[in-house]
Chain A
Amino acid sequence: MKGSMKLTLKVWRQKNTQSYGRLETYKISDVSPDMSFLEMMDVLNEELIRKGEEPVAFDHDCREGVCGMCSMYINGRAHGPKSGTTTCQLHMRSFKDGDTIVVEPWRAKAFPVLRDLVVNRSAFDRIIQKGGFVSVDTGSAPDANIIPVPKPMAEKAMDAAACIGCGACVAACKNASAMLFVSAKISQLSLLPQGKVEASARVQKMVAQMDAEGFGNCTNTGACSAECPKEISQENIARMNREFMVAKLTSDLEA
């Protein structure tokens, strides 16, 4: 199918973490409304390569909205204009012929730019490494049905566990806070009986690492939840705060 839209793109170009970046303007035509945003970027990159220029580096992998790798800040919104959608699932039918689209990387102190639109999100991994798990070695698990879990709790845990770790919450937050990401994992595990045992130690360690990475605090603007492609609820932040307070009050007993 031949495309029909013409667009102006202003794309962030930056050689590496140390260098300065700037917005470059590109014209692109023959964009089909059925293309995904990343497929439109593919077309741009093919043109750049043919012209002897370097293509725009951007993170992407599964292109079905679940790996959490794509991370574009489009027209001032994390993952673009549609709610509950990752950039890879955003289609060009959400834009109009003649539009100018500004594409930037996630911006946060804890997510340094590596090149163009690619940022380093390893801070998230380090937070999980501090406590985003149940300490159970392989082979030591009892039968799966031995502890019944009330369905409503299981469902809530699953809602929180839908987080894909893309970092849109941080990018959307004026404080670059990672509270939504961290609280989603803390909620998932503290709602399930398997995770309860370590709940107190977990919340303290993960929050400490979150602070050490340079993420900001939460001021309850709700931008994180509004821009989250998996629509993770702010309720998780409230649950984390409660867990944190209880843990601090009782921390001489545990961990």
Chain B
Amino acid sequence: MKLDAKIPSGSISEKWSKHKFNLKLVNPANKRKFEIIVVGSGLAGASAAATLAELGYKVKCFCFQDSPRRAHSIAAQGGINAAKNYPNDGDSVYRLFYDTIKGGDYRAREANVHRLAEVSVNIIDQCVAQGVPFAREYGGHLDNRSFGGAQVSRTFYSRGMTGQQLLLGAYSALSRQIGLGNVQMFSRTEMLDVVLVEGQTRGIITRNLVTGAIERHAAHAVCLATGGYGNVFYLSTNARGSNVTATWRAHKKGALFGNPCFTQIHPTCIPVSGDHQSKLTLMSESLRNDGRVWVPKTKGDNRRPEDIPEAERDYYLERIYPSFGNLVPRDVASRKAKEMCDAGRGVGTSGLAVFLDFGEAINRLGEKAVKQKYGNLFDMYHQITGENPYKTPMRIYPAVHYTMGGLWVDYNLMTTIPGLYALGEANFSDHGANRLGASALMQGLADGYFVIPYTIGDYLASSNLPIVKTDHPAFVEAENQVKDRIHKLLSIKGKLTVNEIHRQLGKIMWDYCGMARSAEGLTHARKLIQDLKQDFWTNVNVPGSDADLNQALEHAGRLADFLELGELMVVDALERNESCGGHFRTEYQTPENEALRDDDDYCYVAAWEYQGDNQPEVLHKEELVFENVKLTQRSYK
């Protein structure tokens, strides 16, 4: 298979404009003849479904939650980047492009990232027009703050609930189209397979999570906007329901999976408190604007933080990276926290935490100002830990947060299966090996509002798409496969609960495929995962029936997919003999313990092709060509 990213020719700043002109259009009267399925209702899914419906297409949208407003985009706190340059501090589309490429450690596609930076400005306009309440200055204009990996203030925000406000904006646009009858919404419905006819994507198979009914839906194209797969680690900042099932089933039907091992470990999360833990909570990176990260200078110093004098504190990020200080990119901040804890200087009962201290900011700005900026984050911390961060420093530790990998897509966001698109976190395309803060919201909305509405029309206008109904043999076969699998899961009746096995998988992934990876550990992990998969299929206990609301059954199906994905992540991490961004192989580091890239041998996207159950996947490479940005060792010193 030859991977063609379909990157338009011409200079970087003209590619998208030229491409938009060259794309074929569907005439307005014909649009209503095309049916499009959108799976997922987060920022990417809701914005895509709403916009496609506004254009006149017939849209069906699916989500597994009880309402499209619940999608996990809602939990993003800090903000959304846009190259508006309102603060007049030297920002530009090119600078946002450059920062994103550099932040991704030169493993993202230039053309996609430049387009993202270009449309970033339209996103803010659109959201404000929808009534999204952003933070404002006293003059009534929009306020900005700075975020990791950037030296300009380009982040728009709504207190600590930016994701919520942007999602509710997209949800309102989607709701408007549902009300107008242009979108048919299916909540509490999970996609369990894609249906291909003559090599084209022509529909999906779903399960109604209330009645258990398996249903068929036909369409001319399908967009997967189903988010990331961080829950393969069991403990992550993702919602409990977030899963890889839609993209994994698509992968098994032939869509290549790009850079599966690129995972982001977010530096500022609330540390694990015990074995019962079911998820981890993130504290927005924006806290690093005013919070200072430190550990005691002496190993094993377990005095209370207030009792440790200034001279005995090590503000290690400020010390090692004087120019970016506490605002280094996420991968760097996470790795340094791990190093400090590994060296025995971690704090708290587990020793797996560092301090994030607002003492200096409270002295400088006053408690009231700090409260106005971060009040809800401080409250959340207080609620979870029982400690008051106005009085004592927060304790934080890195946690799995985002997955840069995902389905491989071309410049049009189409996967390797014609008519199947992947949007937002579900695709691999824009963040390379590390995503910068406040860029996930930007990408989700860019894909949904401003990219897919153009590119999907080109496919619909230029493809031969004969009529396919849901009684087509391909639908029957896909439905039978889905049913067989559900019956298999329910019939095992073993001794282990789904949760127990998921926890074990998470531990393997975190220990061997987390913040630091090695060939030896990864090889070992692969064997462990294979054994665990065997255990799952012979000894899992899924209670209840398939004709009811059965949450254990839902979880079991998702875990079965995570087990397969987990192995692919390990294989991908093992294959990439370099360190870059969030992928840190202990064998490949600079003398200062920074990630050591190998641009001669690994400057490519690893795209994996499924070969059948228990068969090794085949690697395809998309070479990354950098025509504008010079590859350098990232330095935030």
Contacts and interface: CB of A to CB of B under 8 A. Distances in A.
Interface string B368-403: 000000000001100110100000000000000000
B139 interface: yes
Interface residues of A, number: 81
Contact of A49 (B75, B125, B175, B497): B497
Interface in A120-168: 120-122, 124-125, 128-130, 132-145, 147-151, 154, 157-158, 161-162, 164-165
Interface in B126-150: 126-131, 133-142
Which of A45, A120, A141 has the most chain B CB atoms closer than 10 A to its own CB? A141
Interface stretch (A186-194, A217-225, A239-247): A186-194
Contacts, number: 227
B145 to A, nearest CB: 15
Per DSSP, chain A at the interface is loop
Interface string B62-84: 00011111111011000000001
Given A55-B552, A59-B66, A133-B173, A66 B499 contact: no
B277 A130 contact: no
Given A188-B131, A192-B131, A3 B276 contact: yes
B432 interface: no
A138 B239 CA distance: 28
Contacts of A147: 128
Interface string B103-132: 000000000000000000010111111110
Given A49-B543, A65-B380, A66-B161, A142 B129 contact: yes
A43 to B, nearest CB: 7
B140 A149 contact: yes
A43 B237 CA distance: 20
Interface stretch (A34-42, A97-105, A170-178): A34-42
Interface residues of B, number: 83
A61 B68 contact: no
Interface in A21-35: 32, 34-35
A133 B273 CA distance: 41
The list of the 6 closest CB pairs from A to B, nearest first, reads: A148-B140, A129-B179, A141-B129, A133-B172, A1-B274, A141-B125
Interface of A: 1, 3, 15-16, 32, 34-36, 38-40, 42-43, 45-46, 48-50, 52-55, 57, 59-69, 84-85, 89, 91, 93, 114-115, 118, 120-122, 124-125, 128-130, 132-145, 147-151, 154, 157-158, 161-162, 164-165, 188-189, 192, 194-195
25 contacts: A34-B274, A42-B278, A55-B544, A55-B551, A55-B552, A57-B549, A60-B240, A61-B65, A61-B72, A62-B75, A63-B278, A65-B380, A67-B75, A69-B66, A121-B67, A125-B175, A129-B175, A129-B178, A136-B130, A141-B126, A147-B128, A148-B141, A149-B140, A154-B134, A164-B74
